[in-house]
């Protein structure tokens, strides 16, 4: 589009700091593409909740819907009870806007140190289902606080929901050189959902005969992510397993300071949302210490989504070059310095 209408939810803690740099790099990447960005800031997060008691109103949601995409920094603060902003804001956005593909790359850039001694060539992507599983809030508790308490969290898996994310994962695998898809679940214990996922993968495989499929139970997948992460190409999994595996994926590829993500609505019935995997990091907020790289890589995913792949590659290239030189740097740069350096590299 000639004008990219971007909803910005900077959020809490370091969210505002990293988003500022992400926008700087985005503007630079758009230079010469014929597209300019027009941002609308949404005041959402801990401050808004404290002053109004609101997390995300229908009006907020309607306004956000009018944009092409959303850039989100981080949500959460220790002064807000656990679950209020997560459920009422972040997950509400993902569910309401039908972000059923939560795309999280696990890529070890050259020059980045992994805690693994011999990680090999790590370059996979996790397709985490984003609208179902235990995240739907289908559960409840009785006799709370008594010795007889029962607390249930029900994982919801629909044929419709599983099939659409599995099909998306197959398409992504088919477009990659190795064409390999790994389903991660736990069908030896979670037999109902597990078998639905397994049958769905088997059925959709018929549409993508050149994609090789394998299966790992989630516990075994955590072993291989540490002992042989280079074996993975595309991983498809449910919402909760995907949440856990992508933190592990971030840890082995240089940490959450580098981990990007995209909450995608592939049908484009609502804007997709791009956010770093990390949280608001209240311990370092306001100190200019946060690494904006995860946000900048999320901006690259945004550019791909809105049909500007060349700009996306320019941003990725800038990050790759920056990361390659970090080992030799004599000091750690501030958030703003990293953003400025990345923008300068994008400018060429």
Which residues have a catalytic role annotated?
135, 186, 219, 243, 247
Q: What angle (nearest 5°) sits at the alpha carbon of residue 23, between those of residues 79 and 262?
A: 70
Buried b (16+ CB within 10 A) or exposed e, 219-235: eebbeebeeebebbbbb
- Pick from Mn ion, ligand IPM, none: which does 201 bind, CB < 5 to 8 A by kind? none
Measured from the CB atom, is 68 or 94 closer to Mn ion?
94
For residue 157, give the nearest of 235, 242, 244 by alpha carbon. 242
Residues 279, 109: Cα–Cα separation, whole Å: 22
Task: Please tell me whether 78 is known to bind a ligand.
Answer: no
Q: Is 119 exposed, middle or buried (0-12, 13-18, 19+ CB in 10 A)?
A: middle
Measured from the CB atom, is 194 or 242 closer to ligand IPM?
242
Task: Please tell me whether 98 is known to bind a ligand.
Answer: no
Q: Which strand (E) or helix (H) includes residue 70? A: strand 69-74
Regarding 243 and contact with Mn ion (CB under 5 A), the answer is yes
Measured from the CB atom, is 90 or 169 closer to ligand IPM?
90
Q: Which residues pair with 272 in a beta bridge?
A: 69
Binding mask 265-304 for Mn ion (x = CB under 5 A): ----------------------------------------
Task: Please tell me whether 345 is known to bind a ligand.
Answer: no
3-state secondary structure of 90: helix
- Pick from Mn ion, ligand IPM, none: which does 315 bind, CB < 5 to 8 A by kind? none
Task: Please tell me whether 291 is known to bind a ligand.
Answer: yes
Residues at the contact surface with ligand IPM, assessed by CB under 6 A: 86, 90-91, 243, 277
Closest separation in Å from C-beta 282 to Mn ion: 16
Buried b (16+ CB within 10 A) or exposed e, 59-72: ebeeebeebbbbbb
Task: Please tell me whether 341 is known to bind a ligand.
Answer: no
Closest separation in Å from C-beta 126 to ligand IPM: 11
Measured from the CB atom, is 37 or 259 closer to ligand IPM?
259
Q: Nearest 10 degrees: CA dihedral of 126, 131, 135, 136?
A: -170
Binding site listing for NAD(+): 279-291
Q: Which residues are annotated as a binding site for Mg(2+)?
A: 219, 243, 247
Question: Binding site residues, as ranges?
Answer: 94, 104, 128, 219, 243, 247, 279-291
Footprint on this chain of Mn ion (rule: CB under 5 A): 243
């Amino acid at each position: 589009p000639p004008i990219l209408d971007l909803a910005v939810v900077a959020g809490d803690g370091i969210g505002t700091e990293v988003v500022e740099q992400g926008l700087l790099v985005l503007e630079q990447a758009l230079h010469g593409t014929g597209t300019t960005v027009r941002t609308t800031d949404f005041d959402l997060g801990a401050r808004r909740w404290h002053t109004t008691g609101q997390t995300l109103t229908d009006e907020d949601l309607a306004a956000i819907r009018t944009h092409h995409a959303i850039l989100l920094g981080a949500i959460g603060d220790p002064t807000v009870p656990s679950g209020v902003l997560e459920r009422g804001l972040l997950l509400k956005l993902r569910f309401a806007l039908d972000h059923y593909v939560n795309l999280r790359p696990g890529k070890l850039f050259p020059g980045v140190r992994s805690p693994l001694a011999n990680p090999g060539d790590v370059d996979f992507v996790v397709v985490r289902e984003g609208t179902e599983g235990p995240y739907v809030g289908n559960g409840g508790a009785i006799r709370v606080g008594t010795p007889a308490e029962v607390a249930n969290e029900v994982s919801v898996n629909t044929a419709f929901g599983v099939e659409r994310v599995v099909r998306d994962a197959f398409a992504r695998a088919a477009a990659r050189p190795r064409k390999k898809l790994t389903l991660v679940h736990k069908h030896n214990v979670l037999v109902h959902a597990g078998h639905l996922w397994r049958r769905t993968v088997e059925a959709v495989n018929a549409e993508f005969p050149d994609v090789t499929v394998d299966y790992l139970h989630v516990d075994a997948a955590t072993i291989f992510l540490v002992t042989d992460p280079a074996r993975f190409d595309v991983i498809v999994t449910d919402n909760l397993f995907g949440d856990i595996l992508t933190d592990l994926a971030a840890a082995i590829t240089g940490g959450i300071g580098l981990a990007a993500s995209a909450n995608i609505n592939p049908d484009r019935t609502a804007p997709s949302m791009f956010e770093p995997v990390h949280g608001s990091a209240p311990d370092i907020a306001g100190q200019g210490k946060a690494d904006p790289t995860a946000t900048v890589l999320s901006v690259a995913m945004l550019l791909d989504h809105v049909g500007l792949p060349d700009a996306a590659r320019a941003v990725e290239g800038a990050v790759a070059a920056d990361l390659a030189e970090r080992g030799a740097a004599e000091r750690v740069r501030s958030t703003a310095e990293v953003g400025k350096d990345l923008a300068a590299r994008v400018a060429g």
